[in-house]
Amino acid sequence: MSSIDDLFTKLRRENRKALMPFITAGDPDVDFTAAMIEQLVARGASMCEIGIPYSDPIADGPVIQESYTRTLDRGIKVSDILRTLGKVAAKIDAPLVTMVSYAIIYRHGAEQYADALQQKGVAGMIVPDLPVEESPQLAAVCASRNLSLIQLVTPTTSPDRALKIAETSSGFLYYVSVAGITGERTKLPPELQDRVGWLREQTPLPVCIGFGISQPEHVKLLAPVADGLIVGSAIVRRMAKAETAGRDCTLQDVGDYVSTLLAAFA
């Protein structure tokens, strides 16, 4: 079992749900990334999703796209990010997962990338552009290293395909709330709860919802039907103010925001 499996076993035993903040690694630098992860976990985040910047957006909205561009322009490399995650993973009691394009994994080599995660104490990877037909090989690489391979199911995924995705996934399934890109939204699709409810009946894997979640009202609406919620753009937007508002103020602002979301689980 991976540390993500252990986390959800514990949460289910305690009848709690996971909040998983997403942050862009290296924006504005890796030291701030480390400080932000520690802040998020101290506030009560169950797990942190770390975006590895990539030049070609997959499903990223403008807020995350811009954060990726800023990081790439500064010349921050994957090795810099993984080195930082290794340092912070040793300090916290919460799994870290990388959101990473398969192009980056392919360039490094699947086994080499998985080895690097394992060595740094990272719990797994989310690979949004990995087709299910091509996932068994990477799934085997991850399984042999006790890493989770988290894959995505979207509103346009057919039921049969969703089941195939679940078969080669581990850790949890990432359910994309909307057919579109990441970004804060005021309203979520009315059919979302039913779709997630159906998926949870089909697989023993936890199902976590991401894309568009940004308000305490969203948490109250979705927590009863999901095992966890992922919040990204609302956090990345606040983090972008670090160099103008000050790093300490930004850490406090993001921490306070996450605390309001966690309070909505009650």
The residue type found at 164 is K
Catalytic residue selected from 5, 27, 29, 60: 60
Report DSSP letters for 162-217, one per residue: HHHHHHT--S-EEEESSSS-----S---TTHHHHHHHHHHH-SS-EEEESS--SHH
Reply yes or no on whether 60 is catalytic: yes
Reply yes or no on whether 49 is catalytic: yes
As a whole number of angstroms, the distance between CA 207 and CA 46 comes to: 14
Q: For the purposes of burial, counting CB atoms within 10 Å of the CB of 73, is it exposed (0-12), middle (13-18) or buried (19 or more)? A: exposed
Catalytic residue selected from 49, 93, 201, 217: 49
Antiparallel, parallel or unpaired: β 228-231 and 48-51: unpaired
User: Which residues belong to the active site?
Assistant: 49, 60
